[in-house]
Chain A
Amino acid sequence: MRGNWIVLAFCSLGQLYADQSLKPQTAAAQLATNNPTLTTIALEKPFCMFDSSLHPNKSYTVYLYAMMELAIAISSLVTDNRSKPLDSTFQQTSGGRLGPYKAALFNVPNCASPPNLADVGDINKVSDVLKQYLFRVGNDETCLYDPNFLDVCNPPLTPDTTYRFKYMLVDNTDCIMKDQTLWSDPIKTRRVKLPMKIDTGPGRRSGGMIVITSILSVFVFLLLSGFLASVSSTVRVLPKGRSRLLRPPKWSPCDHPGHTEPAPN
């Protein structure tokens, strides 16, 4: 009898311990390779995290709360003093700076038959698999500026900021929190580098360019010197008397009367 009580105590301790270590996780990295991005973070839905608190005949909803890590100093409460979930929005908390805001509501994920991630390869099933498996925080670009939007607004997050998330199980009939996970580990959105900082210098000169330049320069030099050599050898090779370039100008006695022809050189 006492043994049973001890086992029960251990079991409930074990359950509590299991609950304490359950936190929202980012979606599987092999599936969602682009995660987190500049303004979004895709989280795995809470599969089998709340099963111990689920009553078979009641309906529940899962709430997702998000806040910036720097808001921990201000407030990290997600319920009021009567265990009612906090109804804060993105605008009210300045995007999570002043405390947690409600980012999403969805049905409790099916623990008994979770989506088969291998079905992602099938074009017809991929939308359903993604919808059932993960939730993308920051997905809705327009809800902040749409006055007709009545649902829970999930606007884009801020780049280069650390966020933390929490799932909460809420009973639909009395809207009271039944269970909650721990705050997730800090998850940081990406930051961007400026493109003007990219170094576009070519680095070292390639070997081919040096070979071409040096060899061609030598060739041109040799050609020009060869040309000069052949021209000068043509000029010199002809004997002096017959060289058109070296022949003295024609002298006529009629131009210079009274003088005889000068002796040839």
Chain B
Amino acid sequence: MSKDDNSVHIFQGLLILGNVVIGMCGIALTAECIFFVSDPHGLYPLLEATENDDIYAAAWIGIFVGFALFSLSVLGITGVIKSNKTLLLVYIILMLITYAFEMASCITAATHQDFLTPNLFLKQMLERYQKMETDNNNDKWMSEGVTKTWNNLMLQNHCCGVHGPSDWQKYASAFRSSYNDADYPWPHQCCVMDARGSPVNLDGCKLGVPGYYNSNGCYDAISGPMNRQAWGVAWFGFAILCWTFWVLLGTMFYWSRIEY
């Protein structure tokens, strides 16, 4: 029955190849999610203050799912080579559980990315930036996080506000209640700074003279990294799941055909 043997060997080879790919993708997913969780752009306090930081939850799940995929792929390869029914049954059940978690992570990342609109960050910036009278410790923590993040954002990216400096003029804000309009039409971090970190010309900045204030908005600097994170977690996870689907179906078929 060499033809049968051949087809069995080919099928085994395909399953092993599938599992190798799953293992590598699992490591890649873990690495990608660790990168996102480490928050290289320092934007996490903004999400934390919106109380909508589920794209970080999705990344955390991704770390553990990636590692689980790698371990299970090793188990799967062993099971296929030995044609051991018990090993493969354990593999299938654990893979289904991992599949469910990864599915949750993908859907969470994709769904919550839709919530990250300019208005969300605008409202949060106006309500929390430089908020002095905080209600409780949680409020204080979030407001300090938002203030620090925005100061860094504005200084490093040479931008101001979400749409532009006019945000500070169009809307009332916590900043406006602490800082008067005549001296601070917008925060001084919006001014073009010299090498020592002070505005080049404060009057020019206050009047809005071109060249002495940053006229572009910071939304691109915020949404760029966040969208990349959400898309990276959601779509890479989705791709892994599409591949894993076929490997799992093949493994179930192989398992059902193993003789005791």
Contact = CB atoms under 8 A, between A and B. Distances in A.
B209 A37 contact: no
A202 to B, nearest CB: 4
B252 A219 contact: no
Given A212-B107, A216-B241, A223 B248 contact: yes
Nearest to A216: B103
B140 to A, nearest CB: 19
A75 to B, nearest CB: 26
Interface string B235-254: 10010011001001100110
Contacts of B206: 34, 136
Nearest to B200: A123
Contacts of A224: 96
B182 interface: yes
B203 interface: yes
Contact of A222 (B113, B123, B212, B249): B249
B209 A216 contact: no
B181 interface: yes
Contacts of A42: 207
Contact of A34 (B106, B207, B241, B255): B207
Contacts, number: 169
Secondary structure of the B contact surface, majority rule: helix
Interface string A136-173: 10111100000000000000100100000000000000
Given A193-B170, A198-B119, A209-B107, A40 B181 contact: yes
Interface string A212-245: 1101100110111011011101100110000000
Contacts of A130: 203-204, 207, 209
A223 to B, nearest CB: 6
Interface stretch (B67-75, B171-179, B218-226): B171-179
B204 to A, nearest CB: 5
Contacts of A203: 114, 117
B92 interface: yes
Contact of B127 (A195, A206, A238): A195
Contacts of A238: 260
Contacts of A234: 255-256
A38 interface: yes
Given A140-B182, A200-B120, A230-B256, A208 B211 contact: no
Interface residues of B, number: 58
A209 B181 contact: no
Interface in B167-197: 169-173, 176, 180-183, 185
A206 B123 contact: no
B234 A212 contact: yes
B110 A212 contact: yes
Given A138-B182, A202-B117, A219-B245, A32 B172 contact: no
21 contacts: A33-B209, A34-B206, A34-B213, A136-B206, A156-B182, A195-B127, A195-B173, A200-B119, A202-B117, A206-B114, A208-B110, A209-B107, A212-B238, A213-B110, A213-B111, A220-B100, A223-B96, A226-B253, A230-B255, A230-B256, A231-B256
Interface of A: 27, 30-35, 37-40, 42, 120-121, 123, 126-127, 130, 134, 136, 138-141, 156, 159, 190, 192-196, 198-203, 205-206, 208-209, 212-213, 215-216, 219-220, 222-224, 226-227, 229-231, 233-234, 237-238
